[in-house]
Amino acid sequence: MDVAKSMVDALDLEDVEVQGSLSVRPFNVGQRVPKIAKILQLDKIHEAITAIKAKGNLNLLANWSDFGYATLDQLEAMARVLEARNRFRLVQFTLDWIDGVEWQIKDVVHPFTDVCDYTKQEYMNAVKGMCLGEVRLGPEWSLGCSLVDFRENLWLHTSSIISAMLALQQMYANVGVVNPSYHDFAGLSVKKKTAAGFGAMDISNDRIIAVICLDHHWVAYMLDKRTQVCYTFDPLQLKANLANVKSSVQNVIEPQVGMQNKITYKEIDWCKQRDNSSCGVWCLVVLELLLSESQWADSLYKVQPYLRMRYLYKAIAVQETEVAHDED
């Protein structure tokens, strides 16, 4: 990241706020390609890119009376610079957060003690080395920089949830991961196909884990095929949400693993979120406790920042593996 940031900073483009209206026109006879010394707002850039492409002639110029001219290539380059700057800022926010994270080791219980002795510098190095661009996670594409939403009390996005579940799959044997995106589709056949996208329904998987989103709120379940028990969890402990989870498993998962009407459902009631944004974190925590057959401890509430930092570290490692596979 440091090298990429240095290259972007070396461009030394001054930010300017453009107020004038956009016009799109061809080059004048003999007009040279404009030189760019300043960079305008991202929304203006996107407006101009869209306008040029709508004309069907990619050789047109965008023009603002208070900025000047820019080609399509220059506009796209400016957009990439601004996006890179924003990603670097997010990384710096994350590094600053890690530097301030505090927790008591005595409050951390198994299985979350595995990285207790890591230094903050090790966590920071992982963040500095993470891929900030596109990463392919099985059938899904995401931005590596989206993992920084593990910091502070931010709500986790789908890519963070998927990466963390894939980390759990690497840590525990014979675990299948359900693609959370399946719940967004209406058609049952599409739901089933999407849910199985990461190989969750493979016969070798003894346990299947999932975290799905119900109206911007994460809920989770783990189906243990060996015991024919499905554990359902809602961080808000709402019966309606738990009913939705059960229905989702019955309609989408049970038929694919040949266990229709054979599953006993058990609700997890020993964890409840205490804010408006940590639902995803507690879903991951509960799933890992189930996978490791460990006991819940209320002291885990005190170490949520550590838990976030731990899952961030493990999610980055998963994405590094996926990037390496793509390069091969």
On whether residue 128 sits in a domain, the answer given is: yes
Q: What's the pLDDT score for residue 325? A: 47
Same domain, 40 and 114: no
- For the record, the structure tokens of 299 come out as 């002291």
Residue 16 structure tokens: 């300017």
Q: State whether 44 and 122 are in the same domain.
A: no
Q: Which residues pair with 70 in a beta bridge?
A: 62
Does residue 171 sit in the same domain as residue 260?
yes
Say if residue 193 is in the same domain as residue 227: yes
Amino acid, res. 296? W
* The pLDDT value given to residue 14: 77
pLDDT at residue 133, rounded to an integer: 79
Question: Is residue 91 included in any domain, yes or no?
Answer: no
pLDDT at 25 over 70: yes
- Indicate if 217 and 281 belong to the same structural domain: yes
Q: Are residues 75 and 147 in the same domain?
A: no
Q: How many CB atoms lie within 10 A of CB 295?
A: 9
140 and 75: one domain?
no
194 found inside a domain:
yes
Assign 324 a pLDDT band (cuts: 50, 70, 90).
very low
Q: In sequence order, which residues have a C-beta less than 8 Å from that of residue 40 and are 6 or more positions away?
A: 15, 16, 17, 18, 64, 67, 78
What CATH code is carried by the domain that includes residue 259?
3.40.395.10
129 and 13, same structural domain? no
Look over the chain and give the mean of its residue pLDDT values, rounded to a whole number. 91
Residue with the bigger pLDDT between 196 and 141: it is 196
The pLDDT, as a whole number, for residue 37 is: 84
Q: The dihedral of CA 195, 199, 203, 209: what is its sign?
A: negative
Q: What is the pLDDT of residues 119-143, one digit of tens each?
A: 999 999 999 988 887 777 777 776 7
* AA letter at 258: G
What is the mean predicted confidence (pLDDT) over 267-293? Answer: 97
**pLDDT of the residue at 22:** 95
Domain count, the chain: 2
Is 112 found in the same domain as 76?
Answer: no
100 within a domain of the structure (yes/no): no
Task: Tell me: pLDDT of 1 over 70.
Answer: no
Q: Is 242 left (phi over 0), alpha (psi -120 to 50) or beta?
A: alpha
**Rounded mean pLDDT, 263-277:** 96
The domain boundary residue, chosen from 67, 82, 97: 82
Residues 77 and 111 in one domain: no
- Domain co-membership, 8 together with 45: yes
Q: Which residue, 49, 82, 115, sits at the end of a domain?
A: 82
Within a domain: 97: no
Statement to judge: residues 46 and 177 lie in one domain? no
CB 178 within 8 A of CB 253: yes
Decide if 92 is inside a domain. no
SS3 state of residue 309: helix
The end-to-end CA distance of the chain, in Å, is: 22
* Domain span including residue 136: 105-327
- pLDDT computed for residue 328 by the predictor: 47
- List, for residues 216-233, the tens digit of each pLDDT value: 999 999 999 999 999 999
Is residue 62 domain-resident? Answer: yes
Segment of 70-74, 142-146, 208-212 carrying the highest mean pLDDT: 208-212
Task: Answer whether residue 99 is part of any domain.
Answer: no
